Structure 1
Amino acid sequence: MSLEARTQTLGQALLAATRPGRSLLAQMREQLQWDEKLLAWAMEHPGLRTQLFRLIDTLPALTGSGEISRHMQEYLDQPEVELPELLKHLIHFTGRESLAAKTAAQTLTTAVSTLARKYIVGENFAQVRHTLERIRRQGMTFTLDILGEAVLSETEAQGYLQKYLDLMTQLAGVDWGCVPQVSVKLSAFYSQFDPLAERTTRIRVTQAVTQLLRKAGELGVAVHFDMEQYKYKNLTLAILQEVLLADEFRSRTDVGLTVQAYLQESEADVRELVDWVKSRGYPVTVRLVKGAYWDQEVIWAQQKHWPLPVYRRKSSTDANYEKLTRLLLENHRYLYPAIGSHNVRSQAHALAVAEALAVPLSAWESQVLYGMAAPLAKALVERGYQVRMYCPYGELLPGMSYLIRRLLENTANTSFLRQRLEKTDESALLAPPAWAEPTTPLPQIESFVGTPDTNFAEPGKPEQFLAAITQVKSQLGQTYVLPHCSTERLLDSVNPSNPTEVIGRVGLADATSVQQAIDLAQKAQPVWRQTPWQQRMDLLLKIADRLAAQRPEWVAWMALEVGKPIREADAEVSEAIDFCRYYAQMAEQLERGHNYDVWGETNRYRYQPKGIGVVIAPWNYPLAISVGMVTAALVTGNCVLYKPAEQSSVIGCKISQFITDLIADLGLPAGVFQGLPGWGEEIGPLLVTHPAVHFITFTGSRQVGCQIYAQAAQLVPGQTHLKRVVAELGGKNAIIVDASADLDQAVQGVVQSAFGYAGQKCSACSRVIVLESIIQPFVERLWAATASLVIGAATDPATTVGPVIDAVAQERLQTAIAQAKQRLTLVGERPAPAMGYFVGPTIFTDVPPDDPLAQEEWFGPVLAVLRVADFDQAVQVANGTDYALTGGLYSRTPSHIQRAAEELACGNLYINRGITGALVGRQPFGGFKLSGVGSKAGGPDYLLQFVDPKVVTENIQRQGFAPVAEEL
């Protein structure tokens, strides 16, 4: 009998043993329990499925029947949600505290708790023991997984490890008649788990794994290591392979790891594992699963513009699964295959392959999830096969995210279990999976496709950037003197992580330099103005290509000169490239202009350059903002005088040099673009007030920005135009966290937004406004996560918080923190390294809304926590500053999300995500009030600020005739 024929025979037998008496959708018309009704409705109504699962996800945060009933109405009583009649009657009530509302809330809570108990083996060890003993009586073994919150801090990571040590001790105290097994996730052993920080991550995780394996060996408990998101895969495998080759653990066979068949690299991973286990000399378990994060992987890859790591079609994953099943079973002498699936076809194929290869029954096993495929597991056991049940345990509410994944899997159109319940034709259920991967890429829904950041999970990528840092370090201390600048007046730019290290010496411009540069610009402006739009667009594309080719070097310069950590510097290079390409794309639209012709007359609306522009750039985004402001002015036909910040003067010189070189390659005069590094207070006013200057583009402090705005408004002798000022002046940005928020997301997002780049972003979160009902658990986790951040030199891949920019900033922040301690409640202050301009992340709580910390931009790693009674007060407090740049909300309450979108005063509002890292063409950036003036950078109307519109109307009628259509 052929392998396929045997698969069909075994499949038919398993289907017969697991055949349900009635379809679930038919049963929904009968007296089912509420939990079964919810599943049936979700399968039948796609709109209800989405909203229902969102509501279930929110339940852990809701307290009281009033809040639950309110959220039921907000999520389910929507026009796009098709409600079954029974559910419609349940939620159509008036008053949150009415008897109907309380009944609805209790019904939903009971139904969801019942659902959760179907997938979770217990909330305490007594319940777990009872369930596991029942599983053992059914002839199956088990693996136990602890559910819980995300690991955001080292306190939580240590707690995760301790829970497993305690669990293994409890398991060892019971005679199970088999070796008990636990399943763990490596990323939970270290809160800063990061492929970029490979060395540090390896050290910290290896310590935890070593402790776990030692204890497991003492107690006689097996350990299996789960696989998580794709970004963790390579580092997870590398750590486990290294640990399990150590002399202490090399002979251990009670360990295992996991392969996900939906990953395109999975076959290569299995073949590598086979070679590795052969060299090890002792077998390990390899659990084969299809994968649990498909949607997340697709979304993440599309957002980041990275290649898709998973197969796009379920049938392709199934086909790959069968290929890997055979590969594992062929190597059963070296490893122990564990085939995890609820798909009867997949399990039948495994049985057929095992028979064909004469694999002993003791040499492999099948695995299923608790609550997902009990009839299949029973059928396999009755036929003499080894079956292990994967058993999550823990409190129901922390386990809600696990429940959502199971519900999504059960109700998906491609789910085998759903197809089985819906009475899909059995021949279709058992048909061989077809390889159906599309050859075309996923369609882009963005009009502008941005540049991908570096995926540091790719092998060799971190090393590439570390090598660039070493190379750039060999160039430190050089002198940079641009045209017009002095060779005698030099500025030393130092490394804020190590101020004894001079990055470079820069020749400074003075009043004479400014006048010489303006003279050249005036000569070049007529030439540049007449240069075709396409040629100017090509310049931007060449700048983008040069930046892309030199990405690691630019990252190194930013890490060294302005203390920007590697990952954030990498994102800044992407942003600079995107500015170039996006503005080139926008310029193409400007070039076309608009035609408003009528009979006998043409009306042409066109754009012309303003003239000479001054760009005054900041130090915190020395590459991206500089390049963005400069290229916007250049592509619209204006000559540019560029003054970089003193603290990033070496990077400014390098930008000036390579843009000047590219312009020279076009055969254009040097005056089109000129760099003028210098002291801002010395040459800034000269540039701003010069009568030949038409516009000023500035990013920096409110004080300087307002001064520029005032100076530019003054008409001076020889000036025949009004100057345009485009200014971004910072913010006092707030994130609101309400009672329905996912605290895992909220804590992580606030920490990243507040302390990324040491809080030195105009978009950084400096205020977090928290409802008092959740402020205690939020602040506790917030500080624990903050206390776990790695503070150090920006060139260290493990660093998450680098230095502040210079001694002045350090002293200003230290003084302000010391004064704040005298009037505010300090949550915690991280100690900072002695060498360098470091300020440890600091958090104050119960900060009054009118306190200087809640009103003034401190521009550093200092966060104010403000307590509010309700959402109304939260909105009022958030809007109670002079700024309106960025804002955020963490909430799962639809009405709060809608109100935030309408009422929060900020130019960029981010909901349920961090508030920094705006992307060109996707999240155009800029604010209002005292956060600045002008259109949003990286937006469709930004270039309009650098041009003057002009309409040309021509009468084309001559002697009674005009070029018109002959027929009407």
Structure 2
Amino acid sequence: MANDLDERTKQYGREIFARLDRQGPVLFTRAWLEDKLMGLGMHDPALKVQLFRFVDTLPYLKQPAEVSRHLREYLNEAKDELPWWVRWGTRLIPNRGVLGQGLAFASQRGAEQMARKFIAGSNVGEAVEAVRTMRDRRLAFTIDLLGEATITEVEADHVQKQYLDLLTGLTREVNTWPEEPTIDRDDRGPIPRVNVSVKLSALFSQFDPIDPEGTSRAVCRRLRPILSLAKQTGAFVNFDMEQHSFKDVTLKIFRDILTEPEFRDWPSVGIAIQAYLKDTEADLHALLDWAKNVRKTPVWIRLVKGAYWDYETVIAAQNHWPVPVFTKKWESDANFEKLTEFLLANVDWLIPAFGSHNIRSISHAMAVAEKLGVPPRRYEFQMLYGMADAIKESIQSLGQRVRIYTPYGQLLPGMAYLVRRLLENSSNDSFLRQGFSEGLSEEVLLTNPAANRRALPAESPNTPTTSMTATHSPAHTVSSAPVPTSAPAAFINEPLTDFSVEANRVAMKAALDQVRSEFGRTYPIVIDNKPLPVTKTLDRENPSRKSELIGKVAMANVEQAKLAVKSCLTAFDTWRDTSVETRAKLLRDVAEQFRKRRFELSAWIVFETGKPWRESDADVAEAIDFCEYYAVEMLKLGATQHRDVPGEDNRYFYEPRGVSVVIAPWNFPLAILAGMATAAIVSGNTVILKPAEQSGIIGAKLMECLQAAGVPPGVANFLPGDGEEIGPTLVQHPDVALIAFTGSLKVALLINEQASKTPGGQNFVKKVIAEMGGKNAVIVDSDADLDEAVKGVVDSAFGFGGQKCSAGSRAIVLDGIYDQFLNRLVEATKSLAVKAADDPGCSLGPVIDAEARDRILKFIEAGKKEAKLAHQTDLGALMEQGHFIPPTIFANVPENAGIAQEEIFGPVLSVIRAKDLDDALRIANGTRYALTGGCYSRSPSHLEKVKRKFRVGNLYINRKCTGALVDRQPFGGFKLSGIGSKAGGPDYLLQFVLPRTITENQMRRGFAPETGTGE
């Protein structure tokens, strides 16, 4: 039976090929020229990538000189890989003058014409005309709305209005036109003529799978009027599918709203499902059960291959998550056929629309439908506007209904869509390229992907393109090359928790409930692995709800501080001489404790410091990374170096400094405390753990994990307390050899000053390692992608309430884009969800305590006298519930204003205008700090200049300036941002050790032991 089906599939395929018009465009016409230019891109990957980058940037370039410069820069960037004629031609690109203006006009005109090949129009009127033309050719349509990424609630409202206007305008026109039975009816009767595709993430600026309930509520609020109007006017609505992380919440919204009484019996609705996802089959089974047994009304399924392959594989690789997509094109093709059979077998409940240009996939659907006796027009085929017209006509001629996925909207926001369509035409795995450019035989193209995959030409991993799905990529990726692989490293970052996975959300909620049940406990000082009697405590309140007492933490006095130093000193000799392997194993065992208690520790961080879910989870993951990374690095560092010569042995090695005091901040309550402590411990030092007063409970949890991992008595002592009371004792104690500190500049400089003194009884100079904060800038160039730049600045400035030394507290924006950027920035900030940190929908939580709140509010009041207050969110009663500060933006900020120079450590952003890039760099470098910085630009020469001249410890290009990962981005700065080397870097442990050399003379009365290389 399988052989019969495969043979029938090939018969249909041969018939489709036989009906194709392969004449191609007329010589020297615009269509002919476009095909030739496309062919050049197909056969030269380097040229393709650079031209597509240029096309993606072109709409943002306002001056002819900018157009010329960008084109030259993009081509020069890959000049060694480009054809000779391109390299030669690059030198002729004019800078200015009439020729420069002509090039700019030609480039913009050419890109616009190319965009119109794939985009039907820029307004409802043009969309109506495009639809009229398609109906004249007996083609059905589905309209997709293009636009910028929705990052503000104003934009979400505008998108809703656009959908409503589109439905009104289309139905008013199209429903009055004469019926075309081939596309307006199926075997059951009339079907909607107007068909609109909706992208759900465009209807809510905070669309996030971490909070499916809140996301569903917000999206449905804007979606209901759209569906109501569609139902009223007889239109059809299809839900588009986007990246994998959005899949489950998209399916949830689909089921939620279509189970509501108003829409429960409405059949004119569907959803896109992607065959390249490994879990799609399970999703279809769940949808079938829901449609049959819950909704009891059928829905349409648009089955596509999927168009986010690059994005999904890159994100999985970056986060060390399982890859959600099939990694071979034949696997996606085979799954498409498998799902095709499932849909056609259940056509009464899941009505299929097959989105593909692949003739094998189309032929297989027709063969299966014939075998199962499915009426010819119970299903349909969908193809992309502007692509594969010959295939569309061939399918039509066989009596099949063909629907065209038709994007419309402004051409500038549509450039991301244009680039994706160009990629699909030129991808190595494109069916269109293989069949019409590469000239592969029909039999090869019609080979069963599951049964004979070796015969397929596209065996290497690549994107299964020329398929249909949503029109926007979540990242502007212009390369369709495979993700590079490398040999496994000794250290791999701990994967962050993927909260789009339901099991992880359930586990986090359970941990929050568990931790709530433990509120009110008292946490003692621990010395020699024994708790000390509690005499004085500090109450720890929940900064999100200041009426909640989380627990009480013992407060050490001076005598207990001295006792902790004595304990460490007693344990030092034994720990120093403990093997490096044993010390490294301890760190790995601590990491295992963190993993076992990951959600619990995250929950404590949420409650004690007000960090949202993802930030808290990342805190624990970073603590794990420090343990694993420093274990690996110490094993390297602990190997003795031999520099022997005949008759003389020379050894170079490291030994620990002694008693170390680790004074940590509250903003990374586990990661920084664990990072500094484990670096000291693994290098053979003994450690006093002094957490910030605001995060003493999390410090106690670290001590619990150390003890559970088997830390020997005295190697780590837990000493919470008031820094002003016990700090001087610890810093000035003659037996303390090293102080590792992260915190304010004022305290760091005081520690450095006190530690520099050598009191009686101290026979060494103390080592101070200090990270002291920053006043970090993000430069926004005039050609920056505003979707990315606005979101990146918002995340950098307001993530965890700006309470990071890496936070981007200054946005330095070039004059040409300043007003546009500021307007979107303000609206994006208004759209943030300010909530209690334990709410999964929280975008921004509280600041740490009342002292921090009052200090930040003073800065804000001073800023009102220095600059223009562009926005301050009204938080209402939330200000009384917890220690909340409204996210605040100042505009037209003088570069020397206090709010532009002082570290505020709160959700306050200064937006500064710069004349040009050189001016922006001067402003960015014009503070006493040099920790992190960022730049959003698409100019290769500007980015090179930024890399050379933006003098900070961690510089981030086209991404937010926070979120450094151990080993991947070792963290730390200079000037008044830091004393010492970068945490999580290859030379960090060197600060905790002292080098020694031992030379031994082996000569004895003229002879020496034989030495050699060994055999």
Give the TM-score normalised by structure 1: 0.97
- Matched residues, number: 961
Question: Which residue of structure 1 aligns with residue 265 of structure 2?
Answer: 251
Q: 2:547 aligns with which of 493, 500, 508?
A: 500
Counterpart-to-counterpart distance in 2, 1:23 and 1:587: 66
Q: Give the Cα separation in 1 of the matches to 2:65 and 2:146.
A: 28
- The aligned counterpart of 2:277 is 263
Aligned partner of 2:495 in structure 1 is 452
Q: Select the residue among 495, 519, 541 that pairs with 1:476.
A: 519
For 1:856, the equivalent position in structure 2 comes to: 902
Find the counterpart in structure 2 of residue 15 from structure 1. 17
Residue 398 of structure 1: how far off its partner (Å): 0.7
Equivalent residue, structure 2, for 1:369: 384
Match of 1:263, SS state, is coil
Q: Deviations over 1:686-717 (max 9, x none)?
A: 10111111110000000000101111111111
Per-residue CA shift, 1:773-794, capped at 9, x if unaligned? 1111111110111001111111
Paired position in structure 1 for 2:187? none
Shift of 1:354: 1.1
Pairs within 5 Å for 1:370-385 = 370-385=385-400
Q: 1:893 aligns with which of 934, 939, 942?
A: 939
SS of the residue aligned with 2:339?
helix
User: How far off is 1:504 after superposition?
Assistant: 1.1
Once the two structures are superposed, what CA deviation does each residue of 1:201-235 show, in whole Å capped at 9, x if it has no partner?
12111222222111111121110000000001011
Q: Which of residues 597, 615, 626 in structure 1 aligns to 2:644?
A: 597
The question of whether the paired residues in 2 share the 8 Å contact of 1:565 and 1:800 is answered with: yes
Aligned counterpart, 2:829 = 786
Q: Secondary structure at the match of 2:866?
A: coil
Letter in 2 for 1:15: F
Other structure's SS at 1:937 match: coil
CA drift of 1:934 comes to 0.7
CA contact (8 A) 2:341 2:365 kept: yes
1:8/1:430 contact within 8 Å kept: yes
Q: 2:321 matched to which residue of 1? A: 306
Equivalent of 1:816 in 846, 849, 859: 859
Indicate conservation of the 8 Å contact 2:512/2:600, yes or no: yes
Q: How far apart in 1 are the matches of 2:80 and 2:569? A: 63
3-state DSSP of counterpart to 2:377 = helix
- How far the C-alpha of 1:962 sits from its partner, in A, is 3.1
**One-letter identity of the residue aligned with 1:426:** E
Is the 1:754–1:862 Cα contact (8 Å) retained in structure 2?
Answer: yes
Aligned to 1:185: 199
Structure 2 residue identity aligned to 1:744: D
Aligned to 1:523: 570
Shift of 1:31: 9.0
- CA–CA distance in 1 between the matches of 2:760 and 2:576? 24
**Structure 1 residues 673-694: Cα deviation after superposition (integer angstroms, max 9, x where no partner):** 1011111011111101111111
Partner of residue 447, structure 2: 431
Relative to structure 1, is the Cα distance of residues 245 and 525 closer, same or farther in structure 2, using a 3 angstrom cutoff?
A: same
What is the alpha-carbon distance in structure 2 between the residues aligned to residue 283 and residue 598 of structure 1? Answer: 84
Q: Partner of 2:4 in structure 1?
A: 2
SS at match of 1:822: helix
Map Cα deviations across residues 624-659 of structure 1 (whole Å, 9 max, x no partner): 000000000000000001110001111112222331
Letter in structure 2 aligned against 1:314: K
Question: 1:566 maps to which residue?
Answer: 613
Q: Does 1:391 align with 2:406?
A: yes
Secondary structure at the counterpart of residue 857 of structure 1? coil
Q: Is the 8 A contact 1:305 1:452 kept in 2?
A: yes
> 2:658 maps to which residue?
611
Amino acid at match of 1:621: F
**8 Å contact from structure 2 (residues 25, 32) kept in 1:** no
Q: Counterpart of 1:592 in 2: which secondary structure?
A: coil
Please tell me whether the aligned partners of residues 774 and 931 of structure 2 are also in contact (alpha carbons under 8 angstroms): yes
Measure the CA separation in 2 of the matches of 1:616 and 1:526. Answer: 23
Distance in 1 between residues matched to 2:95 and 2:33, nearest whole Å: 21
Aligned to 1:171: 170
- The alpha-carbon deviation at position 601 of structure 1 amounts to 2.9
Find 1:799's aligned residue among 831, 842, 852: 842
Query: How has the CA–CA distance of structure 1 residues 876 and 398 changed in structure 2, closer, same or farther, with 3 Å as cutoff?
Result: same
- Equivalent position amino acid for 1:417 in 2: L
* Alpha-carbon distance in 2 for matches of 1:277, 1:660: 54
- Give the 3 Å change call, closer, same or farther, for CA 955–19 of structure 1 in structure 2: farther
Is residue 284 from structure 1 mapped to residue 284 from structure 2 by the alignment? no
Write the distance in 2 (CA, Å) between the matches of 1:963 and 1:80. 57
Please tell me whether the aligned partners of residues 866 and 893 of structure 2 are also in contact (alpha carbons under 8 angstroms): no
What is the distance in 1 between the residues matched to 2:707 and 2:368?
66
Which of 214, 217, 240 matches 1:203? 217
How far residue 17 of structure 1 moved from its aligned partner, in angstroms, is: 2.5
Q: Is the 8 A contact 1:90 1:104 kept in 2?
A: no
Asked if the contact 1:47/1:81 (under 8 Å) is kept, the reply is no
| C-alpha distance in 1 between matches for 2:93 and 2:310 | 37
Contact 2:543 2:608 in 1 (8 A): yes
Q: Which amino acid in the other structure matches residue 871 of structure 1? A: L
What is the CA distance between 1:248 and its match in structure 2? 1.3
In the TM superposition, what whole-angstrom CA distance separates every residue of 1:371-428 from its partner, at most 9, and x where no partner exists? 1121111111111101100000011111000011111111111101111222122221
Among 324, 328, 332, the alignment partner of 1:317 is 332
1:532 and 2:534 correspond: no
User: Matched residues in 1 for 2:312 and 2:487: separation?
Assistant: 16
Tell me the residue number matched to 1:413. 428
- Match of 1:358? 373
Match of 2:729 among 664, 686, 693: 686
Letter in 2 for 1:152: I
Residue 480 and residue 128 in structure 1: after superposition, are their counterparts in 2 closer, same or farther (change >3 A)? same
Instruction: Give the aligned CA root-mean-square deviation in angstroms.
Output: 2.1
Is the contact made by 1:495 and 1:503 (CA closer than 8 Å) also made in structure 2?
yes
Q: In structure 2, how many angstroms separate the alpha carbons of the residues matched to 1:585 and 1:874?
A: 40
Matched AA of 2:916: D
How far apart, CA to CA, are the structure 1 residues paired with 2:1013 and 2:321? Answer: 54
Equivalent residue for 1:547? 594
Quote how far apart the aligned CAs of 1:272 are.
Answer: 1.4
Match 1:755 to one of 792, 798, 804: 798
Structure 1 pair 53–961 and aligned structure 2 pair: CA distance change class (3 A)? same
Q: Deviations over 1:580-612 (max 9, x none)?
A: 000001011012132223333332211111111
Q: Which of 506, 523, 526 is the matching residue for 1:463?
A: 506
8 Å contact 1:91–1:104 — kept in the other structure? no
The answer (yes or no) to whether the contact 1:91–1:101 under 8 Å persists in 2 is no
Residue pair 1:69, 1:91 contacting (<8 A) in 2 also: no
Q: Are residues 1:226 and 2:228 paired?
A: no
In structure 2, C-alpha distance between the alignment counterparts of 1:673 and 1:684, rounded to whole Å? 17
Larger displacement relative to structure 2 (638-647 or 329-338): 329-338
Distance change >3 Å, CA 379–CA 81, structure 1 → 2: farther
Query: Is residue 2:254 matched to residue 1:240?
Result: yes
Task: For residues 265-309 of structure 1, give each alpha carbon's deviation from its aligned partner in whole angstroms, at most 9, with x where no partner exists.
Answer: 011111111222212222111000000100000000010110000
User: Which is worse superposed, 544-553 or 957-966?
Assistant: 957-966
The answer as to whether partners of 2:195 and 2:235 remain within 8 angstroms in 1 is: yes
- Which of 630, 643, 658 in structure 1 is aligned with 2:677? 630
Q: What CA distance in whole angstroms lies between the structure 2 residues aligned with 1:966 and 1:871?
A: 58
TM (norm. structure 2) is: 0.92
Cα 1:451–1:827 shift into 2, 3 Å: same
Match of 1:133 in 2: 132
Whether the 8 Å contact between 1:792 and 1:799 is mirrored in structure 2 is yes
Equivalent residue for 2:871, pick from 813, 824, 828: 828
Give 1:432's aligned amino acid: N
Unaligned runs of 5+ in 2: 185-192, 454-458, 462-482
In the alignment, is the contact (CA less than 8 A) between 1:642 and 1:675 conserved in 2? yes
